[in-house]
Structure 1
């Protein structure tokens, strides 16, 4: 058993932050390690707010307000750990200064007034932002900005500062996930409810030239993850728990190699004691150990850690006693060797090997989920609005 798997098998709750109000945790992001400000964890909530926490203690140290519709994600800058980006269905991407909690956004990015964003990401060079829109009439758009173009603080003027352009032909429905390559700033993958997963090389110019390969996930794409020893593989999870793992090392070739495919990946692994695997949270490439971690869950709050490879899924461990509802996001902190999770019960949890639980916050502010009467909605299963084209 290798060191990482041994760590995963002995994870237990180290710290638990319970919500003081009924709110879902939708996404989280860790600041880049090794520089000033890297001790922060950002969380976006269903209340349209962004919370800053200490990554070590989980204590809340600040928050930001400004969005007026559901958030579609949160990302720390790769090179400037004090900069934080968020995207929203209110038609804006915003940049915040994590050194000034409570302040207005330092930059606001927007495009056409009809564009409502349901996904976004930041390139590894921090130079380009990309957002995927909901379907607008018969079209969907990938929108690009130069992140270095500074606009008036928090204001939406008539000029769309920093806007580089849009791609409008590659998707025909909501673009639910976009993911820049971790090391190649011009490489971008996008997935939508049209069942298509596209890979672009932005350095090649216009949309037709930039689109280097298209895959079919046969459902609605939920999340994407660049993976593999050379980060030349692409993992796609779907909203109905399908899984596709493609080798895209040669995107200009006629065929994209399918390494693993399952329309219902829950059937690929059997959990101990017949425990149910109800959904997948997402995947994460562990670069130091060169392995792909997949996190799944049961509707009762249990989490299941799985190893994913071209040969299938391998069970590692089940985490119990933590969440009481669907888990929406996770991050592996490679420096602290801990797993961070958040979900629809509003809890933020830190899991460490052999840990004993510490509850964070004042006792009088902690409420049980039942006392909050938190209504846990089912995971969104996005139906395709039109017939998908079947690709070979």
Structure 2
């Protein structure tokens, strides 16, 4: 296991007791959303705050952050419990968003955006009998709404990496749905329904044909995207079970995606409270064409965020640096110990 040590630590000018929820690349910088309902842009070489909001960016709690163009990094999207999604131009600051998307439904819990396709999607908390998936174009025109496909909170959304019409949603009802957005009827639009069996924490596409599901009870599985030819029998999922027993961790944080347009490699990030580390394990296809988890190439962030939960992580391949944010109110940068 390759050890990484913390080279930089910063509270990024946030109040004591702040949790950091999400990290995103914005050109040469990083953006962070936090439990004080602010967004900050930081310099990854020093963790100094370069800019940020002077007041809460959502009326009832920010929940999501997405960069629309990591390389250029000028536009980011956020969403919140106020039922709104917003686009921000970092060149103009955080005084006024350049676009606001709003629903009368419940608080927004998940978001994905794709500038190349001109689309933004949100998933809502269950309100009454509805948990919605809503897709807009980036001009603000609502394109489609799915209100019957989930019966609990929509916790994760992901556009397919190459097939423009496919959108994935995951929910605490245990389902992972894939929609064909070119079909208007909701029932007909369901390209595939996967029953993971327990509440979905994260889900997405590992590559063009593989889907992962990670539940709140730390169960990880990999599924095959359904072939449009109904005569083709899909293979059984690869079920890794509860990763706490497999990897000796206390909780799973996220699955990071690498090489999405080719063979597809995922990185499962897990943590330990008592032993105070964060580990990064590969999730990839082996020589025999089977998905495998873990291996000698695992990375350990020695010390982690102490006994506190790590909420978010960003891996910068170019600089071989890992950035983490946690419930201890700190953002950290990590590099190989050697």
TM-score range, shorter chain: 0.7 to 0.9
Note if contact 1:278-1:298 (Cα within 8 Å) is conserved in structure 2.
yes
Q: Distance in 2 between matches of 1:184 and 1:338?
A: 31
Other-structure match for 2:287: none
Change in CA separation of 1:51 and 1:256 when aligned onto 2, cut-off 3 Å: farther
Structure 1 alignment gaps of length 5 or more: 1-7, 32-37, 150-161, 270-275, 356-392
Change in CA separation of 1:18 and 1:66 when aligned onto 2, cut-off 3 Å: closer
TM-score (norm: length of structure 2): 0.88
Other-structure match for 1:317: 299
SS at match of 2:294: strand
Q: Distance in 2 between matches of 1:11 and 1:83?
A: 31
Other-structure match for 1:61: 50
Change in CA separation of 1:290 and 1:109 when aligned onto 2, cut-off 3 Å: closer
Q: Distance in 1 between matches of 2:182 and 2:322?
A: 35
Note if contact 2:62-2:81 (Cα within 8 Å) is conserved in structure 1.
yes
Q: Distance in 2 between matches of 1:202 and 1:167?
A: 10
TM-score (norm: length of structure 1): 0.76
Q: CA deviation at 1:40?
A: 1.7
SS at match of 1:204: coil
Matched, 1:329 2:306: no
Instruction: Tell me which moved more, 292-301 or 323-332.
Output: 292-301
Q: Distance in 1 between matches of 2:62 and 2:213?
A: 21
SS at match of 1:23: coil
Q: CA deviation at 1:193?
A: 1.1
Other-structure match for 2:245: 267
Q: CA deviation at 1:222?
A: 0.3
Note if contact 1:328-1:343 (Cα within 8 Å) is conserved in structure 2.
yes
Note if contact 2:28-2:73 (Cα within 8 Å) is conserved in structure 1.
no
From 79, 94, 118, give the equivalent of 1:87.
79
Q: CA deviation at 1:126?
A: 4.8
Note if contact 1:132-1:175 (Cα within 8 Å) is conserved in structure 2.
yes
Note if contact 1:120-1:177 (Cα within 8 Å) is conserved in structure 2.
yes
From 178, 196, 199, give the equivalent of 1:220.
199
Other-structure match for 1:167: 146
Q: Distance in 1 between matches of 2:144 and 2:264?
A: 36
Structure 2 alignment gaps of length 5 or more: 285-289
User: Which whole-Å deviations, capped at 9, do the CAs of 1:94-121 have from their partners, x for residues lacking one?
Assistant: 1111113342211111022x33211111
Q: Distance in 2 between matches of 1:351 and 1:59?
A: 15
Other-structure match for 1:176: 155
Q: Distance in 1 between matches of 2:168 and 2:202?
A: 10
User: Which whole-Å deviations, capped at 9, do the CAs of 1:178-203 have from their partners, x for residues lacking one?
Assistant: 11123333221101111110011212
SS at match of 1:172: coil
Q: Distance in 2 between matches of 1:259 and 1:289?
A: 18
Other-structure match for 1:51: 40
Q: CA deviation at 1:51?
A: 1.0
Q: CA deviation at 1:249?
A: 5.5
Change in CA separation of 1:327 and 1:68 when aligned onto 2, cut-off 3 Å: same
Q: CA deviation at 1:10?
A: 4.4
Q: CA RMSD in A?
A: 2.2
Q: Distance in 2 between matches of 1:88 and 1:68?
A: 8
Alignment of structure 1 residues 77-156 onto 2, 5 Å: 77-78=68-69, 81-112=73-104, 114-123=105-114, 125-149=116-140
Other-structure match for 1:365: none
From 208, 211, 216, give the equivalent of 1:234.
211
Would you tell me which structure has more helix in proportion to its own residues?
Answer: 1
SS at match of 2:182: helix
Q: Distance in 2 between matches of 1:12 and 1:278?
A: 20
Q: CA deviation at 1:9?
A: 1.5
From 247, 255, 280, give the equivalent of 1:305.
280
Q: Distance in 2 between matches of 1:201 and 1:289?
A: 23
Other-structure match for 2:249: 277
Note if contact 1:248-1:257 (Cα within 8 Å) is conserved in structure 2.
no
Instruction: Tell me which moved more, 8-17 or 162-171.
Output: 8-17
